[in-house]
Structure 1
Amino acid sequence: MTDIPRDEHLESSLALLGEGYPFIRDRCRRLHSNVFQARLLMQNTVCMSGEEAARLFYDERYLQREKAMPRMLKKTLIGEGGVQGLDGEAHRHRKRMFLQLLDTAAVEEVAQLTEQVWRRAIGEWQARSEIELMSEVQTILADSVCRWAGVPLSSAELPERRNQLVAMIDGAGGIGARHWAARKARREAEAWLQPLIEQARSGGLEAGPATALMVAAHHRDLDGALLDSRVAAVELLNLLRPTVAVSYFIIYGALELLAHPRWRARLRSDDAMLEPFAQEVRRIHAFFPFSAARVREGFDWRGYHFAAGTRVMLDLWGTNRDPSHWSEPDAFQPERFKNWQGNAFSFVTQGGGDPAEGHRCPGEQLAIELLKVALRMLTREMEYAVPAQDLRIDLSRMPAKPESGLVISDVRPLAG
């Protein structure tokens, strides 16, 4: 066995926070290896990048999610007791609930609701000199997904709930104030939804039996028991929160339209290129840079030994830019997806492998469809100006976004 190459820092946590998304990719290049060791959060961690690394990472024979996710993410982004922390048949059983809820018909319904709410918003935006597009899109998505899920939400309450969902997302990779705001939002959001779960079970709340609220409330785990009402609230948030997180992809898409005006003109009439454009946005702009697992039992791989219990981090952002699979990987080229057959381990923005069996996100198709809705709205249904602002994306910020949230002005419906 050969020793896994090691990062030169005694503790690399500050370097990771300072560098962000390119942290693993840049070290792989420097060490001439797609696998290396680093000490992160005071633990030895094996970092990996590329398709073969992704195949290993999502192989449950070797790696598990139990006790892998840093506590800070459980307290902010994903919650405790949810599907992301499960393994094996328990994970597959819980995952089937999400796959059932996010079938083709459901994706179409959420997309249609989003389109309707967005059209109404255009009329409201006309009366304002400027809007922050990211915040407005988050409002649209929060409104649409709660309607679909059967979660009662008045217009007066919408801003508060949107802010809670956004804070959990925005603070997931932050420290200090951002982190504590996310923890507070997580507690408040669970406290909002847990009574709704209990009311749904007691019959005190009317909602369709197939709505996400009712399905989460009545889901039974492998032992036949109902989920703890708090865990059921966590799982309901695992539908609401990721839908609002699509706002990041939408803003990335709007920035690419701004950077590549020819694509704005093309997407106005070329339906066939909406999905390739959306996929390239998701490839270039992975929402979160890494994912974590732990070694189940010691094993050997490519001449390296992985000790039991070792934390392993997969480089999502760098795998999507692996030059062995993507020509000119840092260039924005939607045409690369025109006849793309798909590879479940070289394009891992929302996980790798089969969503039914592994840890690929069951909401991936919803994210694609919502991004396509946004692209149609931005290119076919509205005109707008973009005033001067700093639109640079700081890759040390996780999740990354332009600090301005993309301010637009002079919004008006596009004449048909």
Structure 2
Amino acid sequence: MSVIPTDRSPESTLAFLRAGYRFVGDRCDRHGGDIFLTRLLLEPTICLRGRPAAELFYDNDRFVRRGAMPMRAQRTLTGVGGVQGLDDAPHRDRKAMLMSIMTPAGIRHLGQLVDDEWRARIPVWAADGPVVLYDEVARILTRAVFAWAGVPLAESEVARRTVELHAMIEAPTAVGLRHWRGVVARRRAERWTGELIERVRSGDLPAPEGSALRVIAEHRDERGQPLPRRIAAVDLLNVLRPTVAVDRFVVFAALALHDHPGWRDRVRGDDTATECFVQEVRRYYPFFPVAAARVRRSFEWQGYPFPQGRRVLLGLYATNHHPELWPEPERFRPERFAGWRGDPFGLMPQGGGDHLTGHRCAGEWITIELMKRAVTKLTSAMSYQVPPQDLSLDLSRMPTLPPSGFVIDAVRRTE
């Protein structure tokens, strides 16, 4: 049996926070492979990257998610009891419930709502002068996904709900005030979404057929029982929050168009080029850094021991930048996706494996649809200028974003 290469440091949590997205990839390079052992949060942790590692990691016979994600992430990002931390029959049941919402027609409807909101904002941006694209897109997505999910939202609440959802997204790896804002936002959000669930169940609040609010409120688990109010609230937030988080990918798409202006003409009116461009944005730019699991029962892989209960992290960013998978991974090259037929264990900005039965993000198809529509809007529906600003990405910050939020000016409608 081989010995897993091991970090010299007795505790690497601070090093992980300093390195951020590059932690797994840099240390794999340092150890000369795709696996190493370290200690994170005082616990031995195996870190992996690459396609074979992803195939292993998403084998549900070998790994479980229960107890893998740090509690600080559950209390802010995903919610305690969320589908991300379930296994076996409970996971299959809840995942099927969420996937039932993600129909092609439903996703197109959400995309149309985003289109409508975006078009309505263009004249406002033209009149207001410089605007921060990140802030504007976040509110567009909030309005659209709440309407799509059947969740009532007054215009006076849009900014507040957007801030709460952003606070949850920012909090898992943050320390101090930024983390506690996420904790408070999660508690508040679970209270009001829980109240909505109860109102639907009592008949006080009508919810559209097929909407996320109605599907989750009426769902019965594998034992025929309704979801507990708090769990239903968590699942509803796990539809709303990830959709609003697409605002980061939209900013990354705008940044890519700015840094690679030749692609503006290439994607305009060309669905195939737009698809390639969007997939490369998802591969190249940082979104989720890692995914976590625990070993279900002891086994060996490539001669290395995986003891029962051991926490394992799969580097998502590291795999998306693996040179054996992606030649010249630090170059932005959308043409690499020409003729690409998909690979559930190669491109993993939102997790890998199977959507329906595995732990791949249920909202990935929504992400792709909304990104494609955003690229179309940025290249065909409007013109704008990008004034001087700080557009750098700090890969030690998780999640990251240009400090400016991507400011645009001189907006004009062109369609």
TM-score scaled to structure 2, two decimals? 0.99
Partner of 1:339: 339
Is residue 99–residue 362 contact of structure 1 (8 Å, CA) maintained in 2?
yes
- CA-CA distance at 1:270 after TM superposition: 2.1
Q: What is the correspondence of 1:7-406 to structure 2 with a 5 Å cutoff?
A: 7-406=7-406
- CA-CA distance at 1:199 after TM superposition: 0.2
- CA-CA distance at 1:96 after TM superposition: 0.6
Counterpart amino acid of 1:180? Answer: W
Partner of 2:2: 2
Please give the alpha-carbon distance, in whole angstroms, between the structure 2 residues aligned to 1:285 and 1:172: 19
Is residue 286–residue 400 contact of structure 2 (8 Å, CA) maintained in 1?
no
Please give the alpha-carbon distance, in whole angstroms, between the structure 2 residues aligned to 1:170 and 1:112: 28
Please give the alpha-carbon distance, in whole angstroms, between the structure 2 residues aligned to 1:2 and 1:311: 19
Please give the alpha-carbon distance, in whole angstroms, between the structure 2 residues aligned to 1:259 and 1:69: 35
Is residue 46–residue 312 contact of structure 2 (8 Å, CA) maintained in 1?
yes
Is residue 25–residue 315 contact of structure 2 (8 Å, CA) maintained in 1?
yes
Counterpart amino acid of 1:201? Answer: R
Is residue 117–residue 144 contact of structure 2 (8 Å, CA) maintained in 1?
yes
Which of 380-389 and 368-377 deviates more? 380-389
Please give the alpha-carbon distance, in whole angstroms, between the structure 2 residues aligned to 1:210 and 1:120: 26
- CA-CA distance at 1:360 after TM superposition: 0.8
- CA-CA distance at 1:343 after TM superposition: 1.2
Please give the alpha-carbon distance, in whole angstroms, between the structure 2 residues aligned to 1:386 and 1:117: 22
Please give the alpha-carbon distance, in whole angstroms, between the structure 1 residues aligned to 2:205 and 2:181: 30
Is residue 280–residue 332 contact of structure 1 (8 Å, CA) maintained in 2?
yes
Counterpart amino acid of 2:331? Answer: A
Is residue 172–residue 399 contact of structure 1 (8 Å, CA) maintained in 2?
no
Counterpart amino acid of 1:194? Answer: G
Root mean square deviation, CA, Å: 0.9
Please give the alpha-carbon distance, in whole angstroms, between the structure 1 residues aligned to 2:135 and 2:56: 38
- CA-CA distance at 1:362 after TM superposition: 1.7
Aligned residues: 415
Which of 114-123 and 173-182 deviates more? 173-182
Cα-to-partner distance string for 1:328-355 (whole Å, 9 max, x where unaligned): 1111111111200111101111111111
Please give the alpha-carbon distance, in whole angstroms, between the structure 2 residues aligned to 1:366 and 1:208: 19
Which of 284-293 and 66-75 deviates more? 284-293
Structure 2's unaligned 5+ residue stretches are none
Is residue 321–residue 330 contact of structure 1 (8 Å, CA) maintained in 2?
yes
Please give the alpha-carbon distance, in whole angstroms, between the structure 2 residues aligned to 1:126 and 1:171: 33
Aligned partner of residue 353 in structure 1, secondary structure: coil
Please give the alpha-carbon distance, in whole angstroms, between the structure 2 residues aligned to 1:178 and 1:265: 40
Counterpart amino acid of 1:184? Answer: V
- CA-CA distance at 1:59 after TM superposition: 0.5
Cα-to-partner distance string for 1:226-285 (whole Å, 9 max, x where unaligned): 011111010000000000000111000100000001011222232221111000000112
Please give the alpha-carbon distance, in whole angstroms, between the structure 1 residues aligned to 2:227 and 2:403: 39
Cα-to-partner distance string for 1:311-335 (whole Å, 9 max, x where unaligned): 0000000101111121111111111
- CA-CA distance at 1:369 after TM superposition: 0.5
List, as ranges, runs of 4+ consecutive aligned residues in structure 1 with deviation greater than 4 Å: none
Please give the alpha-carbon distance, in whole angstroms, between the structure 2 residues aligned to 1:112 and 1:249: 18
